[in-house]
Structure 1
Amino acid sequence: MTQPAIPPLPHDIGGTGSQRELVLRVMPMPADANHNGDVFGGWIMAQVDIAGSVLPARISRGRVATVAVNEFVFKQPVSIGDLLSFYASIVRVGRTSITVHVEVIAERNPANPQVVKVTEANLTFVAIDREGKPRVIEQHA
């Protein structure tokens, strides 16, 4: 018996021209969920923060810190056993800061595969030096 293929997802988020990149994949475990088997929103937020920092750290060539969570939307619950893929794209690069859009896609139910967007967020990171002070991103130097 052939299983249905998981549909491909578009790489251009909202027609912005910004290519999205897979930056993290993780499967939540029982310790990450409540007694009903729903994964804690705070756990998902922490994973989004990690995933969101990947591109800014690469672009700024160094340390970054989260300075704002501009938007965070939980679209569907996440369950133990869902395979989560975190896609990030750059929204804006400023003199010392970078804003990123993160989408979280869940692959669930291996017997009858489904792919759903469960979360999306916009976060802003600032490039920082060893003392934790903002630093200019090289392309703006």
Structure 2
Amino acid sequence: MLNYKNSSIMCDKNLMLKTLAMPKYKNVNGNIFGGWIMYQMDLGGGILAKEISKGKVSTVYVEAINFLKPISAGDLVSCYVRCMKIGNTSITTQIEIWIKKIDNYSFGLSYCTNTATFVYVAIDKFGKPRKFQ
């Protein structure tokens, strides 16, 4: 477990979001659209970064979103985030999307569908980088 500079946040892998993949987020192939998945990853990573920095953050870098398996409408989508590094103004996170099937055919099956690295920078009220409190 990592302890973050005067923060009550401790994590190895934190559940940051849990939602259902809805049919309106399907792409032309019938799977959940990759942009929606990236959106969930950015929300989850941003929540942890905001908690650690104790203030506003902005996404500054996304490295290699890996699409390992498709997500279907009706899947329970969970976003797990791990803090990998804390700099003077930035936080590097490793994000994983896991799904759980909750349909009648494969109920309870759970696996990782996506991984990525996101970097956030702490910002002040003017949108400029700030050091952590």
TM-score (norm 1): 0.82
Equivalence for 1:136 = 131
The one-character-per-residue Cα deviations of 1:83-120 (angstroms, maximum 9, x if unpaired) are 01111010000000000011110101543321110001
Aligned residue among 99, 118, 123 for 1:123: 118
Any conservation in 1 of the 2:74–2:103 contact (CA below 8 Å)?
Answer: no
C-alpha separation in 2, matches of 1:71 and 1:91: 15
Amino acid at match of 2:110: V
Distance (Å, rounded) in 2 between the aligned partners of 1:67 and 1:25: 24
CA contact (8 A) 1:71 1:123 kept: no
Q: Which residue of 15, 21, 24 corresponds with 2:17?
A: 24
Structure 1 match to 2:99: 106
| Structure 1 residue matching 2:45: 3-state secondary structure | helix
CA-CA distance at 1:79 after TM superposition: 0.6
| TM-score of the two chains, using structure 2 as the length reference | 0.86
For the pair shown, the structure with the greater C-alpha radius of gyration is: 1
Over the matched positions of the two proteins, sequence identity in percent amounts to 39
Map 1:1-141 to 2 at 5 A.
19-111=12-104, 112=106, 113-138=108-133
Taking only aligned residues, the RMSD between alpha carbons, in angstroms, comes to 1.5
Gaps of 5+ in 1: 1-10, 12-17
Task: Work out the CA distance in 1 between the residues paired with 2:13 and 2:81.
Answer: 5
3-state SS of 1:44 partner: helix
Whichever structure has more strand as a proportion of its residues is 2
Aligned to 1:3: none
Q: How many residues align?
A: 122
